[in-house]
């Protein structure tokens, strides 16, 4: 089992419709290739987790790097893992749009701000902690 975590800047603003479209496409492609994961997005940034067989995850990440919707891609982690964290989801999505003010304030206090949005961490432990935090907000 291999896991890749990366952060990227969106080419344009990410809105709910764009986010839903990306999730739909990701679920279809990931089902076909046996990949699981999660995607967290603000209006400007993506933080994505991909898990699966090493060669398939690497190939998927390589195609994402060529996708014109992403720029400034930062690889946060790429390593073998004993256990999948995202095995129940082909692609679980967390759009950090229109959060209630208290939740947004709490996340900004913990992680900081970036371009007016919640800062998405650029280190593995921070990224995993954020996933746990946003999953508690929306555990579905």
Percent composition of the chain: helix, strand, coil (DSSP 3-state, to 5):
40, 30, 30
What backbone torsions phi and psi does residue 64 show, to the nearest 5 degrees?
Answer: -65, -40
Is 18:45 a contact under the CB 8 Å cutoff?
no
- The share of the chain scoring above pLDDT 90, in percent, equals 62
Span 47-69, mean pLDDT? 93
* Each residue's pLDDT tens digit, 78-117: 999 999 888 888 888 998 987 888 888 999 999 999 998 9
Q: Which of 38, 57, 47 is nearest to 9 (CA)?
A: 47
Is 40:76 a contact under the CB 8 Å cutoff?
no
What domain range is 43 assigned to?
2-137
Which CATH number covers residue 96? 3.30.70.100
* Domain count for the chain: 1
């Amino acid at each position: 089992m291999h896991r890749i975590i990366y952060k990227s800047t969106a080419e344009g603003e990410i809105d709910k419709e764009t986010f839903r479209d990306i999730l739909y496409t990701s679920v279809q492609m990931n089902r076909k290739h046996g990949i699981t994961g999660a995607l967290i997005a603000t209006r400007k940034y993506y933080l994505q987790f991909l898990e699966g067989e090493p060669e398939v995850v690497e190939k998927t990440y390589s195609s994402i790097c060529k996708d014109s919707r992403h720029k400034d891609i930062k690889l946060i982690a790429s390593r073998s893992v004993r256990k999948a964290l995202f095995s129940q989801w082909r692609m679980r999505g967390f759009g950090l749009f229109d959060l209630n003010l208290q939740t947004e304030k709490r996340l900004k206090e913990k992680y900081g701000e970036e371009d007016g949005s919640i800062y998405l961490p650029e280190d593995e432990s921070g990224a995993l902690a954020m996933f746990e935090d946003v999953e508690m907000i929306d555990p579905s």
